[in-house]
């Protein structure tokens, strides 16, 4: 298998961390991103202790800060990247609306706007990569009819300033992430850079890190053993597959759930809404070209 250079966000813990172990075990080179130098170096040190042959380099990207993303991208100069893997994501539990340092609603900022900016700035690096690919970790929660409120992305109030609900913010962010994936795939020249999205499944063991109290206990000791739950190992295998499977070379705009390529929701495939979101977000990020 060809060895790839992969920039992975969200690698400090959870699914990103599990992916890192798997990718390194398969001989790939990793730029392992965490939001602080201490975290990035600590994970790299542990991975190297497990396998001294690991080719892993710590990098710092705080996704709640556009300046941090720009600083990192600037430090990359013309280094090639084969795979840009956006795994980091948040699901707020606080009923209080929070914002990034740039004033975006935090879930939208970290889960969508940050990956958009990072992607835009690293397109030159990807163009120098081998069979380059961008992968975004989405969620089946972008679909209507599941637990909690249905996703409802209001272009008049994208930052949920009027009425904030943390689970709505999460669902909207994962819907908007798919709009980004499909619209970017339409805008990039055919057969240049593949853009894909994947839901890892419901993984209570890592999702438990975002919750506290009874819910955390319930996730770790009850939901984890339910038939609808996905193990960290299975999720990591499916996530890694989308980064490296050769059959995806030359393909773009695929969406994966439970290890299978499936159609995402009707709304996520609405090209007009995707274009509208992409233009709105590009403007918010100050991006004039793609
Ligand atoms: N677990 C599930 O059931 C499930 C289901 C569907 C989709 N997903 C998606 O899968 C991805 C990984 O989920 P997970 O379960 O592994 O979550 P997790 O255990 O909570 O890990 C989240 C990762 O994102 C990083 N992160 C959060 N905010 C950041 C920021 N501002 N800047 C940089 N990094 C930041 C975290 O870094 P720190 O260590 O610094 O906090 C951590 O490495 C997410 O996109 C999530 O939405 C998960």
Is 89 touching ligand 1 by the criterion CB < 6 Å?
A: yes
* C-alpha to C-alpha distance for 211 and 226, rounded to whole angstroms: 18
5 sits in which H/E element:
strand 5-8
How many residues are there in the chain?
290
Mutate to test the pocket of ligand 1, among 88, 106, 235 (most ligand atoms within 8 A of CB): 88
Residue nearest (by alpha carbon) to ligand 1 atom 40: 35
Buried b (16+ CB within 10 A) or exposed e, 61-91: bbbbbbebbeebbeebeeeebbbbbbbbbbb
190, part of any domain: yes
CATH number at residue 30: 3.40.50.720
Please give the distance, rounded to the nearest whole angstrom, from the Cα atom of residue 255 to the centre of ligand 1. 19
Is 139 touching ligand 1 by the criterion CB < 6 Å?
A: yes
pLDDT of the chain along its 290 residues, tens only? 689 999 999 999 999 999 999 999 999 999 999 999 999 999 999 999 999 999 999 999 999 999 999 999 999 999 999 999 999 999 998 889 999 999 999 999 999 999 999 999 999 999 999 999 999 999 999 999 998 999 999 999 999 999 999 999 999 999 999 999 999 999 999 889 999 999 999 999 999 988 889 989 989 999 989 999 999 999 999 999 999 999 999 999 999 999 999 999 999 999 999 999 999 999 999 999 99
Phi, psi of 158 (to 5 degrees): -65, -30
Is 109 touching ligand 1 by the criterion CB < 6 Å?
A: no
Per DSSP, what are the bridge partners of residue 256? Answer: 198, 261
Cβ-contact 252, 196 below 8 angstroms = yes
**Confidence (pTM):** 0.98
290, part of any domain: no
Q: Is 23 left (phi over 0), alpha (psi -120 to 50) or beta?
A: alpha
Residue nearest (by alpha carbon) to ligand 1 atom 45: 89
Is 71 touching ligand 1 by the criterion CB < 6 Å?
A: no
The residue segments making up the domain with residue 203 are 5-285
Is 114 touching ligand 1 by the criterion CB < 6 Å?
A: no
Q: What is the number of structural domains in the chain?
A: 1
Is 90 touching ligand 1 by the criterion CB < 6 Å?
A: yes
Is 21 touching ligand 1 by the criterion CB < 6 Å?
A: no
Cα 78 versus chain centre, distance: 23
115, part of any domain: yes
């Amino acid at each position: 298998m060809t060895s790839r250079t992969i920039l992975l966000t969200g690698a400090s813990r959870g699914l990103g961390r599990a992916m890192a172990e798997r990718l390194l075990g398969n001989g790939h080179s990793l730029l392992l991103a965490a939001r602080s130098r201490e975290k990035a170096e600590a994970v790299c040190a542990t991975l190297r202790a497990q396998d001294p042959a690991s080719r892993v380099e710590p990098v710092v990207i705080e996704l709640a800060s556009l300046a941090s993303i720009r600083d990192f991208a600037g430090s990359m100069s013309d280094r090639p990247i084969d795979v840009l893997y956006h795994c980091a994501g948040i699901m707020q539990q606080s009923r209080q609306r929070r914002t990034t340092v740039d004033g975006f609603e935090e879930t939208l900022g970290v889960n969508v706007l940050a990956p958009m900016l990072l992607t835009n700035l690293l397109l030159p690096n990807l163009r120098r990569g081998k069979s380059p690919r961008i992968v975004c970790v989405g969620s089946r929660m972008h679909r209507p009819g599941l637990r909690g409120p249905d996703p409802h992305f209001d272009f008049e109030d994208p930052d949920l300033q009027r009425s904030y609900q943390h689970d709505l913010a999460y669902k909207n962010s994962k819907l908007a992430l798919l709009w980004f994936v499909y619209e970017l795939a339409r805008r990039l020249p055919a057969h240049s850079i593949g853009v894909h999205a994947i839901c890892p499944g419901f993984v209570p063991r890592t999702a438990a890190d975002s919750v506290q109290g009874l819910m955390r206990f319930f996730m770790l000791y009850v939901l984890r053993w339910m038939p609808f739950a996905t193990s960290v190992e299975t999720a990591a295998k499916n996530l890694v597959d989308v980064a490296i499977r050769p059959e995806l070379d030359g393909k773009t705009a695929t969406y994966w759930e439970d290890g299978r390529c499936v159609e995402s929701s009707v709304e996520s495939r609405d090209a007009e809404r995707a274009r509208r979101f992409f233009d709105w977000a590009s403007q918010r990020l100050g991006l004039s070209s793609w």
